[in-house]
């Protein structure tokens, strides 16, 4: 074999080796359906349930690192989980506020519900700095019975070899 016929084989093997070294996303081939909101039909009586509560969930879209002048950007996820195995959880609003307490945006346009054991998440992307270090969600929910849903903030951030991950719990502020 001459050197001209070996070069394409070496090139092909090199390309295959390089492709094999590329980090593959294991979720790429798996169908990752986004949970659709279960919207409530419009009604005249508004949002009235025997049990109705408002929950405050602290969210950190950034945290201080080393000094007060250096902030570490985070991706934040609000997770709402219906822990009931029998009853639906009805959500009137999912509103996001910034550090100063000013309304930023609403994540739902009309009431929704979560079926038993269903969850839904809302993500504040790392590049979104509108909330700041003292951001929060206010969620109004209702149910036919006294349920114990879980409202959590999950914050994650990575920079170089430094990473952060922590959670916050929602607190009932009015009933």
Domain contains 24: no
pLDDT at 4 over 90: no
Residue 34 lies in a domain: no
Asked whether residue 17 is domain-assigned, the answer is: no
Within-domain flag for 120: yes
Beta bridge partners of 38: 113
pLDDT above 90 for 114: yes
- Contact assessment for residue 129 and residue 135, using Cβ atoms and an 8 Å cutoff: no
Assess if residue 137 is contained within a domain. yes
Q: Judge whether 158 lies within some domain.
A: yes
Residues of 32-53 as b/e, b for ≥16 C-beta within 10 angstroms?
eeeeebeeeeeeeeebeeeeeb
The share of the chain scoring above pLDDT 70, in percent, equals 79
CATH code, domain with 163: 2.60.290
Residue 52 reports pLDDT greater than 70: yes
* Residue 151 binned pLDDT confidence (cut-offs 50, 70, 90): very high
Residue 35 lies in a domain: no
Residue numbers of the domain that contains 94: 51-174
Specify if 9 maps to a domain. no
Least confident of 31-35, 58-62, 84-88: 31-35
Total of domains in the chain: 1
Cβ neighbours of residue 27 under 8 Å, at least 6 residues apart? none
For 58-83, how does the pLDDT look when each residue is reduced to its tens digit (9 = 90+)?
Answer: 999 888 878 888 888 899 999 999 99
């Amino acid at each position: 074999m001459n050197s001209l016929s070996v070069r394409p084989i070496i090139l092909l093997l090199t390309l295959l080796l390089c492709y094999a070294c590329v980090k593959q996303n294991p979720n790429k081939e798996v169908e990752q359906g986004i949970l659709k909101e279960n919207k409530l039909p419009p009604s005249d009586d508004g949002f009235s349930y025997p049990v109705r509560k408002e929950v405050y969930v602290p969210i950190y879209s950034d945290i201080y690192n080393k000094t007060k002048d250096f902030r570490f950007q985070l991706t934040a996820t609000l997770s709402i989980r219906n822990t009931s195995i029998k009853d639906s959880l009805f959500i009137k609003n999912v509103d996001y506020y910034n550090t100063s307490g000013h309304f930023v945006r609403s994540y739902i346009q009309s009431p929704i519900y979560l079926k038993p054991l269903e969850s839904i998440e809302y993500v504040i992307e790392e590049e979104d700095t509108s909330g700041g270090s003292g951001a929060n969600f206010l969620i109004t929910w209702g149910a036919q019975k006294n349920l114990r849903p879980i409202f959590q903030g999950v914050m994650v951030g990575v920079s170089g070899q430094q990473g952060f991950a922590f959670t916050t719990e929602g607190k009932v502020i009015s009933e």
